[in-house]
């Protein structure tokens, strides 16, 4: 039967195996201890770490071509490299991140380049490349301690350059606290200083935006969009002297509940803890 193209966006365009992959790549609360042990075993094993770190493609006795380290546009490239060199994962946070810090971080990492160039067929370009310009990722900010901003969950509205507070926790602050603690299992995991960090940025994929056009391949594209945004957040943080660290340690179903996501279409792909640098 011919497909009705009008319904494409509302149909499930992912195959059952793609949906299975999304499910099987989740961290579940009942798996947490085993998963943590597995990661700990790999990290503490010299053999495994040598295998991971020392691996490169070995082609044997073939022609080797040295690359030229001199470049044109030297000054611009120097500045580019300076920020790239300063990019790092910072796991200690100072208190006092404010709305100016957060605004600068968001507005200089994921943004619309020229809104006036948008049409109904082609969106305005953004600060990342995106397969087919479908831009399947949205950024949410879980505010913990940003000065002058209420605790809760915010949607980063990049077109309007503002944060929109999710209303689900209005008058239900204790529900927010419970869901945050569940998603980041703060009762057992103590390595993040959630009392000092400003909050947590979450990259959420709306998979139908990519899959209605690219089917299962859209999942790959969504992952790449999320990675591009993450790199830009790192670079903006380096330029702004802010502290950021990606954090893959969260419970998927619980973060979905915290953010009010509709699964399997909307999924959190990664999180970043953000804040001020610790000075002392
Ligand atoms: C997808 C992703 C997930 C990560 N998850 C964690 C994490 O859960 N905990 C952590 O301390 N660092 C995490 N990191 C940070 C890496 O450990 C870090 O990027 C790596 O050690 C290289 O260090 P650098 O970023 O300072 O160059 C993550 C990084 C990425 C890209």
Minimum-distance ligand 1 atom for the alpha carbon of 91: 11
Query: Does the pLDDT at position 7 exceed 80?
Result: no
pLDDT (tens digit per residue) in 112-131: 998 788 888 788 999 999 99
Q: What is the distance in A from the centroid of ligand 1 to the CA of 184?
A: 16
* Matching residue, tokens 């503490």: 44
Is the CB of 245 inside a 6 Å radius of any atom of ligand 1?
Answer: yes
Q: Which spans in the chain are helix H?
A: 16-24, 32-44, 46-53, 74-86, 99-107, 173-183, 207-214, 217-240, 252-259
Q: Is the CB of residue 78 below 6 angstroms from any atom belonging to ligand 1? A: no
Phi (first) and psi of residue 143, to 5 degrees: -85, 125
H or E element that contains 255: helix 252-259
**Neighbour tally for 211: CB within 10 Å:** 27
159-215 pLDDT per residue, tens: 999 999 999 999 999 999 999 999 999 999 889 999 999 999 999 999 999 999 999
Cα dihedral 161, 163, 166, 170 sign: negative
Residue 6, pLDDT score: 65
* Mean pLDDT of all residues in 30-34: 93
**What's the whole-number mean pLDDT along residues 224-233?**
98
Distance from the alpha carbon of residue 269 to the mean position of ligand 1, in angstroms? 14
pTM above 0.80, yes or no: yes
Tokens for 77, please give them. 């490239």
pLDDT at 1: 45
ipTM of the prediction? 0.98
Q: Is the pLDDT of residue 224 over 70?
A: yes
> How far is Cα 133 from Cα 123, in angstroms, rounded to an integer?
7
**Residue from 190, 191, 245, 250 whose mutation best tests the ligand 1 pocket (most atoms within 8 A of CB):** 245
* Tens digit of each residue's pLDDT (9 = 90 or more) over 62-106: 999 999 999 999 999 999 999 999 999 999 999 999 999 999 999
Please report the pLDDT score of residue 58 as a whole number: 83
């Amino acid at each position: 039967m011919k497909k009705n193209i009008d319904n494409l966006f509302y149909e499930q365009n992912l195959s059952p195996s793609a949906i299975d992959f999304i499910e099987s790549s989740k961290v579940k609360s009942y798996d947490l201890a085993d998963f943590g042990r597995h990661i700990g075993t790999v990290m503490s094993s010299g053999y495994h770490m040598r295998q991971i770190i020392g691996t490169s493609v070995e082609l044997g006795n073939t022609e080797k071509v040295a690359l030229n380290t001199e470049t044109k546009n030297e000054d611009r490239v120097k500045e580019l490299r300076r920020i790239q060199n300063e990019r790092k994962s910072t796991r200690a946070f100072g208190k006092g991140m404010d709305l100016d810090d957060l605004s600068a971080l968001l507005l200089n990492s994921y943004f619309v380049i020229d809104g006036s160039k948008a049409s109904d067929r082609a969106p305005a370009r953004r600060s990342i490349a995106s397969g087919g310009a479908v831009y399947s990722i949205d950024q949410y900010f879980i505010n913990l301690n940003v000065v002058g901003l209420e605790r809760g969950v915010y949607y980063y509205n990049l077109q309007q350059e503002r944060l929109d507070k999710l209303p689900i926790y209005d008058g239900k602050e204790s529900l927010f606290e419970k869901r945050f603690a569940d998603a980041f299992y703060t009762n057992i995991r103590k390595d993040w200083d959630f009392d000092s960090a400003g909050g947590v940025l979450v990259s959420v994929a709306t998979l139908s935006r990519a899959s209605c056009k690219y089917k299962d391949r859209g999942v790959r594209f969504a992952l790449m969009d999320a990675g591009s945004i993450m790199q830009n957040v790192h670079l903006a943080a380096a330029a702004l002297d802010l502290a950021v660290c990606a954090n893959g340690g969260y419970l998927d179903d619980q973060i979905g509940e915290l953010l009010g996501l509709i699964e399997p279409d909307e999924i959190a792909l990664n999180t970043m803890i953000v804040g001020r640098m610790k000075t002392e």
